[in-house]
A and B are shown apart, each in its own frame.
Chain A
Amino acid sequence: MNGRRILADLKVTARGYLRNPIALFFSLIFPLILILLFGLIFANTGATAATLYTENFDHASPVSQEFLSGLNQTHLVTVQVINTSTGNLSVWLGQNDNPVGLVIPAGFGQNYTQHIATNVTLYVNPQDAGAAGSAEGAVQAVENEFNLHAACQSTNGTCSPVLGYIPQSVGKTYFTYIDYLVPGLIGFSILTSPMFSMVDVTSSYRKEGIFRQLSLTPLTRDEWLASRVIWYTILTFLAAAIMLGFGIGVFGAKVTISVWMVPFLLVGPLLFVSLGMLAGSIARTPESAAVIGNIITFPMMFLAGTFFPVSEFSPGLQVVAKVLPLYYVIDGMNQVLLFQNYARALTDFVIVLGIAVVFFAAAVYLFRWKGE
């Protein structure tokens, strides 16, 4: 391995790529168009009243009933009274993927009538700004009305508010479509740019005698391969930066940028450069290589969690998804960017690394520059 030669090949590869509008389009612009398109379609799914799950520990008092019906009349929320078995609404909300909840304490009605200051607890998920805003707005509005009413009836003539609320964050983050789309489309880039062009390059360079030409220079096959892996890793980092920039900047995606995404951005391109080379090496002509490449690429493009989270698939399709190498790249990125579940990310990474090593070894074994 000679760094100077790798760098020279990298320079030529980069130049060729940057001067090829089609390659550039599919690597960087196309995923961007996808994130804009899907983001716009799915970002705003309409402002319906948020359901406010309410635990009422003062069920018997007419004041609490009046308070809840006041909330309903704001049309910002729809009150849904529940009884949690755990007694912990925050946990219940997290388990059931609900963004807002309300707890009315025991003695709420009595305190109100006796002008004793009392608080309700409002659980909101700050990351679901829509539901949180609606719930806070509704509770504030109804409490103001109750406080004014209490002041008018006050015997001492002061207008001090009686009711207040304690805001609480719900312990779970809720993710929307756009949040899943960011890691999904980073995965899409990791898959498509090396796959499409390595399949083409491997088969057409062989047909056109460019490998033969290169084999007559001091450049080794391994140096050539290193240059390609480095190039697609650079492209992957660029694509990831663009996806994160647009996802967060334009659509407010709730992703956490973390250094733990780097292992996936390094090993992902290695996996698909190897797979692309394998497909290109097995095929006898560039035409059949393109077909083999598409057969491998297209199912992954749609079924590995790129455009839709795999958890929303039917159980049968989930099994299919879990056979695809890209699934583990995207799931790993989801674990890092969305859930900060590093244990599961590590498992995903080990699987991705294992597949990459196997594909890389097979590609190196099968890929030949010379006739025999």
Chain B
Amino acid sequence: MADAIVVEGLTKNYGSLAAIDNISFRVPPGSVFAFLGPNGAGKTTTTEILEGLRARSKGSVRVLGLDPWGEGRPLHRQIGVIPQDFRFFEKITPRESIDYYSTLFGTHPDPAALLERVKLSDKANSRFDTLSGGQKQKLGLALSLVNDPRICFLDEPTTGLDPTARRAIWDVVRELRREGRTVFLTTHYLEEAEILADRVAIINHGQIVAAGSPAEIIDRLGGPARLRIVAGSDVADFVRSRFPNEVRREGDHIDVVLRDREDALAILEAVQASRLAWTGFTTVRDTLEDVFVRLVGRMDDGVLKSSDGTAAGAST
């Protein structure tokens, strides 16, 4: 089957500034694709170009075989979009919103089933302005499904939500994938991408700096696995004296950088034989977040800094 989304050499200039700089990627049908990047990296701009809400400067974009900018109307009948911070008519209830969307699209979904699906049945007849942030986002999700879309675009759908609401939305994303829909997701939460996505692209300063499945990216770009032993400096000194591996002491534990799997067994055996005190061990690998932070910058006090050390742009 043809790829659901094909982007080749996409560029978006604002004056002399390239918000998106010659990026290419493909999203296979029926997969969950996560688009990651710090604020201002170009996530939302790319998403809006794919949705047909923004014109591109250069390159080619095909979504379900259509050009989103020139063929927006037929495309919009086949895609569902949930923006960041979904807002709707304040005095209208979720039930009425679904009726409204159904009439606009000329479709006939069962409103009760749709609300049940996003776990919003108990608020079916509450006005939008009385809903919590999570409930509003759930309504956005329900509305994006009114036209039975082939691709769902979710732009930071769980930002600012509590863990329960976040998990409810994750469940729906998993279900969408099971139903064979393509999901295009942008997110700040690396954990979310790791859990949900089949494929990930990391964008920074308008360029894709890594792409592949989360495991591939970690394999390729993550640091080596480490044996973590909960023990004191005597154990660290002991390992250093017996093995060539790099040893780091961090708080109540030491990390031994492994070259291969056998390293871990040999080191554990030697430590056990030494009769030095230790209380536990585990092996650790880089997470997608570790890779992300290494690639695009570092988190300082919750603010993501770009790799050149300046704060990333506030808006995308």
Contacts and interface: CB of A to CB of B under 8 A. Distances in A.
Contacts of B91: 15-16, 19-20
Interface in B72-99: 73, 76-77, 79, 81, 83, 85-92, 96, 99
A350 interface: no
B187 to A, nearest CB: 18
Given A20-B91, A215-B53, A8 B83 contact: no
A284 interface: no
A209 B96 contact: no
Contact of A11 (B76, B77, B88, B100): B100
A370 B76 contact: no
The secondary structure that dominates the A interface is helix
Nearest to A210: B87
A209 to B, nearest CB: 5
Interface stretch (A45-53, A216-224, A261-269): A216-224
A5 interface: yes
Contact of A370 (B54, B83, B87, B100): B54
B58 to A, nearest CB: 15
Contact of A208 (B87, B96, B103): B87
Interface in A205-234: 208-210, 212-213, 215-219
Interface string A7-31: 1110110011001100000000000
B103 A8 contact: yes
A208 B53 CA distance: 15
Contact of A19 (B55, B101, B127): B127
B106 interface: yes
Nearest to A208: B87
Interface string B91-133: 1100010011101111000000000000000000001000000
Interface-central residue, A215, A217, A372, by most chain B CB under 10 Å:
A217
A8 B100 contact: yes
B90 A16 contact: yes
A20 B83 CA distance: 26
A371 interface: yes
Interface residues of A, number: 24
Given A8-B103, A19-B91, A217 B54 contact: no
B74 to A, nearest CB: 10
Given A212-B83, A216-B81, A371-B48, A15 B73 contact: no
Given A216-B76, A219-B104, A372 B92 contact: no
A7 B103 CA distance: 9
A213 B89 CA distance: 11
B190 to A, nearest CB: 25
Contacts of A15: 91-92, 96
A371 B54 contact: yes
A194 to B, nearest CB: 18
Contact of A12 (B55, B85, B100): B100
Given A19-B127, A212-B53, A370-B53, A217 B101 contact: yes
A370 B54 CA distance: 7
A217 B104 contact: yes
Contacts of A4: 103, 106
A12 B96 CA distance: 8
A204 to B, nearest CB: 9
Nearest to B85: A209
A213 B139 CA distance: 13
A371 B49 CA distance: 10
A217 B105 contact: yes
Contacts of B92: 12, 15-16
Contacts of A208: 87
B83 A209 contact: yes
Contact of B55 (A7, A216, A217, A372): A372
A46 B90 CA distance: 50
Interface-central residue, B48, B54, B86, B87, by most chain A CB under 10 Å:
B87
11 contacts: A16-B89, A19-B127, A210-B87, A213-B81, A213-B87, A215-B76, A216-B79, A217-B76, A218-B106, A371-B53, A371-B54
Interface of A: 4-5, 7-9, 11-12, 15-16, 19-20, 208-210, 212-213, 215-219, 370-372
The 5 closest A-B pairs by CB, nearest first: A8-B103, A19-B91, A208-B87, A16-B91, A217-B104
